[in-house]
Every structure is written in C-alpha cells, then in structure tokens.
Structure 1
Amino acid sequence: MIRLALLRHGHTAWNRAHRIQGRTDIPLDDQAVADLSALRLPAPWDGAQLWSSPLQRAAQTAELVAGRPPLTDPALMEMDWGDWEGRHGSALRADPASGFRDIEHWGWDYAPPGGESPATMRARLIPWANALTRDSVAVCHIGVMRVLLAHATGWDFAGPAPFAVKRNRLFIMDISENGWSFDAAPVRLESRT
C-alpha cells in the first residue's frame, strides 16, 4: 500500500482576485511566500517523496514547505479551463451563453468550452498515482485534488463534494491493488517555530 498526501498550492494574485487560473503559470504572491515560509511538512511526510505540478505556484509551495525541490510531473497540472481561463466565475455565471456551471454539477464528462473534463483529468492522474513506489506528497491544484479525492471517495461531481479542500492541510489517501480510500481528517502543516 502507498500513502499519498495532497497539498494545495498557496495563494496567487489570481486566486485572490477570484479569476479562473487553470494552466496559466502564475507565481505565488508575496503574502503566500511569507506564510508558507513559516510552515513545514509534519512527520512522517517530511521524509516522503516530494512531487508537484510543474506550474510554479505548486513547485514554489513544495520547496517552501519541504526545504527541497520537488520532482515534477505534467500529470499533476491543473485542469485546462479552456475559454474560461482568466475569467471570473461570477461574470460567466451571469452570462447564459457561457455554458458556465459550478463544478459540483458537472458530472465526470462536462468540460468548459475548449477545456478538460474531470474524466480526462482522471485518465492522466490515476496512472501517475498507481505508479508511485513509495509514500509521497503531491503539491498540486484544487482541480487535481478534486479528481483524485473523487476517485477515492466515489463522488461523481453531481452535488456537494464529501470533502472541502483547504490550504495548508494534507489530504491523505491510501492506494492499493484493492482500491483507494481517503482519510477524511486532513493533517495541518506545522509551524517552523
């Protein structure tokens, strides 16, 4: 059995402005760098293999909380939001022609215009996770976390998720040949002081 802990990257200017970020490579903002510099991975996760998305906000977060550079893999990239990239969800929601709907009402197969569905993401993420050979931390994005946690919990993107993805917490899954399971109690990052 392999244990995989997922950590969402720190805030960026686009997060704070409520813009859909997707694959646009936005760095952490100064406040996020300061906040993450004061945190670290708790044991035993501080000795786990460290992975991140190749996008700089995730790689920066990984290095700040672990004190070492991560391995990166394109499988961990955020969802491709297509035509919605950089836009505000509130503006899209107000425009009936946009086709916008909240992710809790997508199902596995809905995708933004020109973008990626949760099912497409799952097709690249599950082989990556199943190939892990040791306990690992993956610093990634909320879309990646939703897909992996949905796979572990059976959530089908139809209605409220049985988990709430928050920052500065590890969301831990067990991966085995018998299936995946999710420990619903996230583990907080520790203070360096």
Structure 2
Amino acid sequence: MTQLAIIRHGHTPWNRAGQIQGRTDIALEDQAAADLAKLKLPAEWEQADLVASPLLRAVETARLIADREPATVPALTEMDWGDWEGKKGIALKADPNSGFRDIEDWGWDYRPPNGESPRDVWARLAPWVATLKTDTIAVCHIGIMRVLMAQATGWDFSGPAPFQIKRNRLFVMQMQDGVLKASGDPIRLEVR
C-alpha cells in the first residue's frame, strides 16, 4: 500500500491580504520562510519521495522543511481561479453579481469564471496519483488538497468538509487499488 502525504505551502503576502492566488507565482513571505526553516518532516517521512507544485511558494516550502530539492509535478499546480485571480474573496462574496460561492456550495462542477472546477482539477491529478509506487510527500495548495481530500473522504463539495486544512501538517492518504482513503489525523511538522 502506498501512502501520499500532502501539505500546504507557507504564507505569502497575498494569503495575508486575502487575495486569491491560484496560478500567480508568488514567493513565500519572509516571516513564513523563517518559520518554516525551524520545522522539519517527521522522521518516518524523511525518506519519502518529495514532490511539489512548480509554483515558487510550494518549491520553497518543500526545500525548507525537507532540506532537499523536490521534483516538480505540473499536476499539483493550484487550481485555476480564472477571472477571480488576484481578487479578494471577501469582496467577491459581498458582490451579488460576482457569482462567488463558498466552497461548501460548489459541488464537483462549479467553476469560477474562466477557471477550473474541482472535477477539472481531479481530472489532471488522477493520472499522477495512479503513478505513485512509493510513499510520497506533495507540497501543494489548498485547492489541490481539497480535491485530494474530497476523493479520500467521499466529500462532494456540498456542506461542511469532514476535514480542516491547516498549515504545517501532513494530511496522509493511503492508496490501494487506485482508491485514496484518508488515514488518521494530520501529522504536525516537527521542530528542529
């Protein structure tokens, strides 16, 4: 049985400002990089394959927590937020003409204008997931994590998610016969 552990990149200036990043390639903020440099992977995950989204914030996070270079996987690139890229979620939510919905009201087929739906994201992730043969850590983005965790828990983007994605934690899934299943509580990164 192969395990996949996913972890969200550290904070960026856009995260702090409440802006939707999507595919905009933004580096970690200085404080986030300093904080991540004080953390490391749990011992049982140190030898796992290390991959990351090709976006800088994910690659930087991987380097800092693992002390090695990750392989980049294009399928792990954050979901495309289309016309909402760079905008503030709170402003979109306040505008009745924006079409904005909370993630709990999306379903698998809702998409931001000119962006990707969760189903679109899964369509590009599934072939990559199917290639995993050894335990792997993937440093990625909240949109990617939601889709993978939805697959692993049976959540359909309707109603509250049965998980809460927090930073500095590995969310572990087991893959058997091509099916992802969530495995236990998230594992915190360790202090160096």
Q: Give the TM-score normalised by the residue count of structure 2.
A: 0.98
Aligned residue for 1:78? 78
Aligned residue for 1:188? 188
Aligned residue for 1:91? 91
Aligned residue for 1:58? 58
Q: Is structure 2 residue 138 aligned with structure 1 residue 101? A: no
CA contact (8 A) 1:104 1:158 kept: yes
Q: Kindly state the Cα deviation for residue 178 of structure 1 after the two structures are TM-superposed.
A: 6.2
Structure 2 unpaired stretches of 5+: none
Deviations 1:162-190 (A, max 9, x none): 00000000000000106221024000000
Q: Is structure 2 residue 24 aligned with structure 1 residue 4? A: no
Moved more, 169-178 or 11-20: 169-178
CA contact (8 A) 1:79 1:143 kept: yes
Aligned residue for 1:159? 159
- Runs ≥4 in structure 1, deviation > 2 angstroms? none
Q: How many pairs align?
A: 192
Deviations 1:107-146 (A, max 9, x none): 0000000000000000011111111110000000000000
Q: Kindly state the Cα deviation for residue 45 of structure 1 after the two structures are TM-superposed.
A: 0.7
Q: Kindly state the Cα deviation for residue 43 of structure 1 after the two structures are TM-superposed.
A: 1.6
Aligned residue for 2:14? 14
Aligned residue for 1:168? 168
Q: Give the TM-score normalised by the residue count of structure 1.
A: 0.98
Using the aligned pairs only, state the percent identity.
64
CA distance in 2, matches of 1:178, 1:68: 29
When the two chains are superposed, the root-mean-square deviation of aligned CA atoms in Å is 0.8
CA contact (8 A) 1:61 1:139 kept: yes
Aligned residue for 1:144? 144
Moved more, 29-38 or 171-180: 171-180
Structure 1 unpaired stretches of 5+: none
Q: Is structure 2 residue 119 aligned with structure 1 residue 112? A: no
CA distance in 2, matches of 1:53, 1:118: 17
CA distance in 1, matches of 2:134, 2:179: 16
Give the secondary-structure state (helix, strand or coil) at the position aligned to 1:58: helix
- One-letter amino acid of the structure 2 residue matched with residue 26 of structure 1: I
- One-letter amino acid of the structure 2 residue matched with residue 57 of structure 1: R
